[in-house]
Structure 1
Amino acid sequence: MTLQQWCFSFRGRLGRRDFWIWQAAWLLMLVLLFTLAGNNLLDTQTAAFCVVALMWPSSAVLVKRLHDRNKGGQWALLFILAWMLMAGHWSMLPGDAQWVVGRFIPTLIMVCMLVELGGFAGTPGDNRFGKATQAVIFLRRRTPDYQ
């Protein structure tokens, strides 16, 4: 799999190693963006634009990893649900319900999804989403042309 397929295509399957590589790269990019924006070295709107631009490759990696687990891409909507619950204003709920709906449930969803996608092996061999996983080729070795 090429870097372009890894980051931009929703087709195919992706193994755990490449999923975790993306998660680490994504986390580093976010830390860098927020550090630069927090120190006024980068405009906040530019940082927000970069975060939005990272949503497509994040979604592509997530969906391909779900495909490797033989699950459809619609399962990725659980992350959106978790984000919406976490971003909601739940003061209208009584007592501990605010914490349960606004913090506990979203955290539970995210942890379960990360364990599912990052901890469990994909289906062996071919499945309904394609052939067995192929590692991402990060650096292409050039072979000399002998003519």
Structure 2
Amino acid sequence: MQFLRQDYQFLLFEFEGRISRLQFWVGLSVMAAAYASLFMLISMMLPDLVSAALIVPMIVFAVTMPVALVIKRLHDSNRSGWWYPGFLILTAALDVCLFLLLKPQFAMIGSGVVTALLNLWLLVELGFRTGTRGPNQYGHRHVAEKSRGHAFV
């Protein structure tokens, strides 16, 4: 269980450096569990006004964490973090083109399919493809402890 010993501030909130595939999946798992728990807790226990006030900072963190993970995985494959905004713009542009070219009902289906395929491609790139071996222009991988025998390191 050494792979669970992570520097979570680096993993989830910093945009520089590199992470392995295993660190990416651990980060996604921690993020999903934390936000599912917090959103449930806030929605069940707090009045609506207080809930709304707490949801805004949580959304900021909810956006920051996956962006930090994606950028560091892009760095691991020796790519700039600016590929991610480019990917988001490409996805939005394709959706707009579909809505301009097709009837609304077909555009919605096409948009869903295009978005799903692009997100699947991104998931394969980040979660399953090996990064650059050794150091690259973004430095060495940030590893809390040396992991042996794990498929996603």
TM-score computed with the length of structure 1 as normaliser? 0.72
**Are 2:130 and 1:118 aligned?**
no
Q: Which residue of 1 aligns with 2:116?
A: 107
Following superposition, the deviation at residue 120 of structure 1 comes to: 0.9
Q: For residues 25 and 83 of structure 1, what CA distance do their matches in structure 2 show?
A: 28
Partner of 2:3: none
Quick one: structure 1 residues 28 and 2, their matched pair in 2 at CA, closer, same or farther if it must change by over 3 Å?
closer
Q: 1:127 aligns with which of 125, 132, 136?
A: 136
Question: Which structure 2 segments of 5+ residues have no match?
Answer: 1-5, 146-153
Say if 2:31 and 2:65, in contact at 8 Å, map to a contact too.
Answer: no
Q: 1:14 to 1:80 in 2, by over 3 A?
A: farther
Instruction: Give the counterpart letter for 2:144 in structure 1.
Output: V
Are 2:107 and 1:97 aligned? yes
Please state whether the residue corresponding to 1:121 is helix, strand or coil.
coil
Hey, which of these two has a bigger chunk of helix by percent?
A: 2
Residue number in structure 2 paired with 1:142: none
Identity over aligned pairs, percent: 29
CA distances 1:105-143 after superposition (whole Å, capped 9, x unpaired) = 121121111111001111111112212x13236xxxxxx
For residue 54 of structure 1, give the secondary structure of its aligned residue in structure 2.
helix
- Count of residues in Structure 1 that have an aligned counterpart in Structure 2: 132
Aligned to 1:22: 27
Note the aligned Cα RMSD (angstroms).
Answer: 2.9
Matches within 5 A, 1:56-75: 56-75=64-83
**Could you tell which deviates more after superposition, 92-101 or 113-122?**
92-101
1:3 is aligned to 8
Runs (4 or more) in structure 1 with deviation over 4 Å come to: 79-86, 90-93
Q: In structure 2, what is the equivalent of residue 53 of structure 1?
A: 61
Amino acid at match of 1:26: M
